[in-house]
Structure 1
Amino acid sequence: MTKEQERARARRRHEEQQKTAKPPVSDATRDKQVFGVILAFILIVAAVIAVPKLLGSSDGPQPAAGGSTTPATSTSPTSSGGLAEGQKLAAGCTAPPALQATPKKQTKVPAKATAAGKTFVATVKTSCGVITLELDGAKAPQTVASFVNLAKTGYWAPSPCHRVTTQGIYVLQCGDPTGTGQGGPGYTFGIENAPKNGTYGRGVLAMARTQDPNSNGGQFFITYKETRLPTEGGGYTIFGKVTKGLDIVEKIAANKALAPSPTDGTPVSPISILSVSVTEKKA
């Protein structure tokens, strides 16, 4: 084979390789590919964070509403009380009081026998008016026993309702004297009387918890519209209902949340529990 033939063969081989080779990636294209990978990662992380937050709330010993957890924000009530930046009072409300200097702690879960088979009426005085609750000790004896105990020991006097949700789930969450969504009374207990279909009707009183089914403590929530919550993990304990004052909850929810988002976070219009008194309801 002559040198001319060898050069022709090499040229043909090179041309064939060029036909099957992938086109080179420019710097601009490579940058777009890298950006796409980063964006996808951010979206996945955001979804992982958002889903637990929607499921409920925090309570008891952290990690946590959740609950899912509701972290402290810059709009949480200060130790001196009053309004945080961006907050405004709803009609009929007074400025929230200062947080408790040292929230009360307990270590022993109250005996559920003290509430079993009984019905109680709780009068919750708030900075926006009185909310009256009926507690069902027949269906949720441990939860009601705890609520009655915390009320009698002044655990919530005072304490802010630190979370309102206005999209997907419709609740006002209260019961943490620290106002952060991370506080608990010092003990925890399990789930009772959770609906199998995950439906919580308007005016339902239920317990907030972390993803741990045994993390019920002092935080609770009121639904101001029918709400569907996940049943995975056991659901959330229903232990009573609002019999008076649900309009107060609706008024707070109507002004939405301030932070971390308008649909889930610290209420724009603050509301604090000032005192809770409980009496047994006789047949």
Structure 2
Amino acid sequence: MPSNEQRRQAAKRKLERQLARRAERAKRRRIWGVSITVVAVVAAVGLVYWLVNLGPGDSEAATNNTTPTDTPAENTTDGACAFKENPAEQSDKSPGMPEDPAETPNTGTVAVTLKTSQGDIPITLDRAKAPCTVQSIEHLVTSKFFDGTTCHRLTTSEGLKVLQCGDPKGDGTGGPGYTIPDELPTDLKPAAVGQGAVTYPRGTLAMANAGPSTGGSQFFLVYGDSTLPPNYTVFGSVGAPGLATIDKIAKGGLTPGPNGPQDGTPKLPVEIETAAVQ
């Protein structure tokens, strides 16, 4: 039968073994905790690197599998204007991209005459108002892009009096195969009605669009003060001789379209026979 001393020694050895096992388990937990932390840090650093350097915007799959839509493609020119290709509008009439220098000319004017089936419409492009837009429109004019196109839309309501032109399809859906950046006006007077609206005065030459930075070749000529949001680039003006021609077209009336009885196709057909820089 073991003595009291032997029992104490046995109990002591048992306690020492228990303490040793606990210490070993604690050591393993610390090792696992450090390992997991290191793995998490490495994963986080790798994720940040991927997002910064190899993210979806730059991946080959993201850039090479784009389905043509109304949204412009990401291909751009290298200059100050960064014109964007728009594959959805590519056609046999597309003139290619405009020149895009590092410093777009922003002074001076360009005189253009739209010779139409209803009479001449002289217009003046103003580089100071919208240098990138003028750069593009001059390119389209010299490329003969507008020749043989129609002015497909006329509006005659009290708050909107415009003639819209520049669509190679003639139905409001066409363009040159690229888009230009917005150069929105900041000097138009607030309109008396319409929160946030401004007045585009008679004689204004402005770009049509389908949303931010979607302008292409379609433009509108304002023949009566019009109330609109300041979302349309103003790039020039229409002089008295041109306004006289547009007034005649407006008096001829329109064939209503889906937007109501005061918005449709001019009854007097308006074809831009030639557009030329003077």
Fold equivalence (TM over 0.5): yes
Shift of residue 215 of structure 1?
0.3
Task: Give the structure-2-normalised TM-score.
Answer: 0.60
Shift of residue 111 of structure 1?
1.9
- Higher helix fraction: Structure 1 or Structure 2? 2
Q: Which runs of 5+ in 1 are unaligned?
A: 1-60, 64-101
Residues 74-85 of structure 1: pairs in structure 2 closer than 5 A: none
Query: In structure 2, what is the equivalent of residue 186 of structure 1?
Result: 177
Shift of residue 103 of structure 1?
4.8
The secondary structure found in structure 2 opposite 1:223 is strand
In 1, the alpha carbon distance for the partners of 2:148 and 2:95 equals 17
State the Cα RMSD in Å.
Answer: 2.1
Conserved 8 A contact 1:62-1:182: no
Shift of residue 134 of structure 1?
1.0
Query: In structure 2, what is the equivalent of residue 153 of structure 1?
Result: 143
Counterpart amino acid of 2:255? L
Bigger radius of gyration: 2
Q: In percent, how many aligned pairs have the same letter?
A: 42
In 2, the alpha carbon distance for the partners of 1:263 and 1:110 equals 39
Range 169-178 or range 240-249, more displaced = 240-249
Query: In structure 1, what is the equivalent of residue 265 of structure 2?
Result: 266
In 1, the alpha carbon distance for the partners of 2:222 and 2:92 equals 26
Counterpart amino acid of 2:128? A
Query: In structure 2, what is the equivalent of residue 104 of structure 1?
Result: 93
Shift of residue 108 of structure 1?
2.7
Query: In structure 1, what is the equivalent of residue 109 of structure 2?
Result: 119
The higher-RCO structure (CA 8 Å, 6+ apart) is 1
- Paired residue total: 178
> Residues 265 and 137 (structure 1 numbering): CA distance in 2 closer, same or farther, change over 3 Å?
same
**Does residue 251 in structure 1 map to residue 248 in structure 2?**
yes
Shift of residue 268 of structure 1?
1.3
The secondary structure found in structure 2 opposite 1:205 is strand
Residues 137-216 of structure 1: pairs in structure 2 closer than 5 A: 137-167=127-157, 168-195=159-186, 197=190, 198-210=198-210, 212-216=211-215
Q: Which runs of 5+ in 2 are unaligned?
A: 1-68, 72-90, 191-197
Measured against aligned partners, the alpha-carbon deviations of 1:38-91 in whole angstroms (never above 9, x if no partner) come to xxxxxxxxxxxxxxxxxxxxxxx648xxxxxxxxxxxxxxxxxxxxxxxxxxxx
Residues 9-88 of structure 1: pairs in structure 2 closer than 5 A: 62=70
Task: Give the structure-1-normalised TM-score.
Answer: 0.59
Counterpart amino acid of 2:131? P
